[in-house]
Amino acid sequence: MRNGWFRLGIVVALALTVHAIATTASLAQQWPTHTVRFILPFGPGSGADTAARLVTEKLQQKWGQPVIIDGKPGGDGLLSLQTVVSANDDYTLFFGPSSIFVVQRYLHENMSFDPETALAPIAGVAKVQIAVAVPTNLGISTLAEFVALARAKPSETSYAVAPGFSEFVFDGFVKENGLAIAKVPYRDITKSPMDLGENRIQLSMQSYAAMRTYAQTGKIKIIAINDRERSPIAPDIPSVVEEGFPSLLASPVLGLLGPGDMPIDLRRRIAADVVAVLGDKTIGERLALTGQPVTPMGLDAYTAALKEQYAQVAHIASVLGLAPKK
- Does residue 4 have a pLDDT over 80? no
Q: Is residue 17's pLDDT more than 60?
A: no
Closest CA to 177 of 106, 103, 248, 243: 248
Helices and strands (H and E) in the chain: how many: 12, 11
Dihedral angle sign, alpha carbons of residues 248, 156, 162, 220: negative
Residue 23: pLDDT over 90: no
Each residue's pLDDT tens digit, 72-87: 998 889 999 999 999 9
Torsion 308-112-88-37 (CA) sign = negative
pLDDT at 14: 53
**pLDDT tens digits along 104-163:** 999 888 888 999 999 999 999 999 999 999 999 999 999 999 999 999 999 999 999 988
> What ranges make up the beta strands (E) of the chain?
36-40, 67-71, 92-97, 119-127, 130-135, 158-161, 182-183, 203-207, 220-225, 253-259, 294-297
Tens digit of pLDDT for each residue in 198-216?
A: 999 999 999 999 899 999 9
Q: For residue 6, what pLDDT is reported? A: 52
**pLDDT digits 0-9 by tens, 27-68:** 677 899 999 999 999 998 889 999 999 999 999 999 999 999
Mean pLDDT of the chain: 91
Residue type at 308 in one-letter notation: E
CA distance 141 to 182: 21
**Comparing 303 with 190, which gets the higher pLDDT?**
303
Determine the average pLDDT of the residues in 231-259: 96
Residue-range domains of the chain with CATH = 31-124+252-320 (3.40.190.150), 130-248 (3.40.190.10)
pLDDT exceeds 60 at position 246: yes
More confident residue, 14 or 102: 102
Task: Write the Ramachandran bin of 199: left for phi over 0, alpha for psi from -120 to 50, otherwise beta.
Answer: left
Phi first, then psi: give them for residue 229, nearest 5 degrees: -125, 170
Query: Could you give the strand order of the β-sheet that contains 36-40, starting from the edge strand earlier in sequence?
Result: 67-71, 36-40, 92-97, 253-259, 119-127, 294-297
pTM value?
0.87
pLDDT on residue 19: 42
User: What does the alpha-carbon distance between residue 220 and residue 224 come to, in Å, rounded to a whole number?
Assistant: 12
- pLDDT at site 25: 57
**pLDDT at 21 > cutoff 60:** no
Percent of the chain clearing pLDDT 70 (strictly above): 91
Closest Cα to residue 255, out of 274, 233, 277, 282?
274
What share of the chain has pLDDT > 90, as a percent?
A: 80
Is the model's pLDDT at 259 over the cut of 70? yes
Residue 234 — pLDDT band, cuts 50, 70, 90?
very high
